[in-house]
Amino acid sequence: MSLDTRIDGLSADLPVGASLDLVLNNPHFDYAKMAGTVVALPQFPLSRRNQFLFGYWEQPQAGAILARKRLEQYYNGHLIREALFVLTEAGPNGYTGAMVENLGEFFGDWQTRLLSELDFGTTPTPAVLPAAGIALDGQTALVFPTIINPGFYGTNGGAISYSGKVNEFTGGAYTATGPKVPMVLLKWLLQKIAMATNTTIDGALLTHPAYSQLLLYNTRALDGAAMISPAKHLPELTVVDLLLELRKLFNLRLSFDLPNRRLTLGFWADALRQPARLDWSQKAVGRPVKTPETNSRLQLGYELDGGDALMKDKPPVLADYISPGNGGLAALRSRISTLLMDGATSTAKAAQPGITAQFGQGSNSFGPRLLFWNPVAGVPLATNARNGFSLAWLGVGGLYENHWREMEQMRAGQFYAKQAFWLTETDLAQLDFGQKIHNNGVDYFVLSVAVSLPITKPAECLLVAG
């Protein structure tokens, strides 16, 4: 039996008789974070090979910089897990470290910084704002949709004959007066993040006919600036926050390909519809131990932007979705919400002081909100629905109907099962947490696998079905 740990593609020396205890966790059922692998790595002995792999870091002359290294865990030639390795201690007894994976280190230095603090470059402010928006990196990046917002200048709007519209557009052009506020398209933002962090972000969210046209609303005026800095018009979220909050809205499946530094944004509801592809029935040991899911109903909602007076009393159209029935509630609330629409003009509306130097309003803020870029006959509009897809939880084409119905159906009859299986290295290498397995008449998702390498006993698994 062969246990092979590779650092940056080269096999490391392990202690004699070394073993590896792994707990592999499904990242698709925890909406607060991206769960990964919990592993107790053995200490790497102080051998010549390991000294080379770790840059002789035990020596004081080696300095203090600790580079992240790629770690691959093979068993009998099968790749079981891969992640990044962080060296935490080195000395006469060898090298000690920890694994990090998925969102833990994926975006490097951009991981924990706010979007508004990142460098997305600048672009000149056009002398005449184009109704179709401004293209950067070969795609539309910044747009100027008209938003009805009489409160943008607080009580001072009347003094400057403010029309009550942000990015006012009339007669085929933007007016010379009133606030001009650029809004960043989500697709461009995600691909710009990928370019800056040497990663790839793709998937169904970015190719979707409606969601590929999402924009991030903001209230910061240009105030005549000669250059536009996209970062200044982004919400106070980190890159990781943005992904996790989007996940809550659209029930996304975040799939990481670490060797190729690729993140694919798909829809988890698609996986829920699929039948099992692997049958583990003959691998089962004994009978499962079942426990019920007590919170069998969903409550889906957002944190509304308290700076918008229209949101003070939660509007019925933006109400939470709550599953019918009497079971306990599993609450999920996204920090990203949306705006109301003005029925007479089909224009998004708010009642919110803007961020502008004109009346000393630089300290105002805004919460993260999404709209669809949805121009009509050349008129630059943004809406909370497009092509039958709505950013409201309720109603036809709403978030519940399009993305959460399958999860609700599963949760209504959901239960957990603890089951031991004799899994081989091939089973572990082929394990895909986005696919169901079949066990004696029931299709399950695998929530976790606790296994020791070399394999000398059954793996303890936690399954979920509904």
Q: Are residues 353 and 458 in the same domain?
A: no
| Whole-number pLDDT of residue 221 | 97
Counting Cα atoms < 13 Å in the Cβ hemisphere of 463 gives 27
Phi then psi for residue 417, to 5 deg, are -140, 125
- Number of structural domains (the chain) is 2
Residues sharing a CB contact under 8 Å with residue 144, sequence separation 6 or more, in sequence order: 129, 131, 133, 167, 174, 180, 181, 182, 183, 380
- 143 and 25, same structural domain? no
Q: Does residue 377 sit in the same domain as residue 435?
A: no
Would you say residue 62 lies in a domain? yes
> Rounded to an integer, what distance in angstroms lies between the CA atom of residue 80 and that of residue 37?
11
- Whether residues 123 and 259 fall in one domain: yes
How far are the Cα atoms of 32, 230, 252, 329 from residue 321, in angstroms, in the given order?
19, 33, 18, 11
Q: Are residues 99 and 115 in the same domain?
A: no
Angular region, 395: left φ>0, alpha ψ -120 to 50, beta rest: left
| DSSP-based three-state secondary structure for 124 | strand
Tell me, yes or no, whether 20 lies in a domain. Answer: yes
Domain that holds residue 13: 1-105+420-466
What was the pLDDT predicted at 103?
62
The answer to whether residues 159 and 254 belong to one domain is yes
Tell me if 251 is assigned to some domain.
Answer: yes
Residues 125 and 150 in one domain: yes
In a domain, 306, yes or no: no
Residue 270 lies in a domain: no
Residues 143 and 196 reside in one and the same domain: yes
84 with 128, same domain? no
CA 351 to each of CA 13, 143, 148: distance values in angstroms, whole numbers, following the listed order: 64, 21, 8
At 243 the pLDDT is 96
256 and 350 in a single domain? The answer is yes
Residues 444 and 436 sit within 8 Å (Cβ to Cβ):
yes
Give domain status of residue 277, yes or no. Answer: no
> Residue 327 domain-assigned?
no
Residues 159, 253: one domain? yes
In the prediction, which pLDDT does 104 show?
A: 64
Distant-in-sequence, close-in-space partners of 169: CB < 8 Å, separation ≥ 6: 131, 146, 175, 379, 380
Paired residues of 169 in beta bridges: 174
**Consecutive 10-residue runs of the chain (466 residues): their mean pLDDT?**
87 89 89 76 91 89 75 88 84 87 75 94 97 96 98 91 96 96 98 96 98 98 97 97 97 88 94 94 96 96 96 94 95 98 96 94 95 96 97 97 97 96 92 95 96 93 96
Question: Which residue type occupies 412?
Answer: A
Q: What span, in angstroms and rounded, lies between the C-alpha atoms of 333 and 310?
A: 19
pTM: predicted TM-score of the whole model, two decimal places = 0.91
Tell me whether residue 351 is in a domain: yes
Q: How many CB atoms lie within 10 A of CB 314?
A: 12
**DSSP labels, 76-118:** TTEEEEEEEEEEEEEETTEEEEEEE-GGGTTTGGGSSSBGGGS
Based on the fold, state whether residues 124 and 229 are members of the same structural domain. Answer: yes
